[in-house]
């Protein structure tokens, strides 16, 4: 099950098996959920050296993961996890 389909798929499974609905907010709550910084126009890989204060204040935005990749890095990740990308139908990351 793809993580991005979890909410819809879990509801379908609960309904199909007559299960009580799960509290999706409680399940998906995570300290890793952060505000994403908007870096429109920033070149890819341009934020790899930024210093994010730790512990990070809740209000401090974090750049999207795409901004940490160069095309070479994205290609390497794709080759390492090729079977997973194909199994789950993820597209190539073109930067």
pLDDT in tens, 36-48: 555 454 555 556 6
pTM of the complete model beyond 0.75: no
Q: Which residues, 6+ apart, have CB-to-CB distance to 55 below 8 Å?
A: none
Q: Where are the domains of the chain?
A: 1-33, 34-95
Per-residue pLDDT 10s for the chain (95 aa) are: 787 888 899 999 999 999 999 998 887 776 655 555 554 545 555 566 667 777 877 777 777 777 778 888 889 999 999 999 999 888 877 76
81 DSSP 8-state letter: T
Q: How far apart are CA 83 and CA 22, in angstroms?
A: 31
């Amino acid at each position: 099950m793809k993580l991005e389909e979890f909410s819809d798929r879990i509801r379908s499974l609960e309904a199909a098996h007559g299960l009580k609905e799960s509290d999706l907010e409680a399940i998906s709550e995570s300290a890793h959920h952060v505000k994403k910084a908007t870096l429109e126009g920033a070149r890819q890989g341009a934020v790899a050296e930024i210093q994010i204060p730790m512990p990070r204040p809740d209000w401090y935005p974090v750049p999207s993961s795409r901004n940490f990749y160069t095309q070479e890095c994205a290609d390497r990740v794709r080759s390492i996890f090729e079977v997973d990308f194909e199994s789950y139908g993820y597209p190539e990351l073109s930067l």
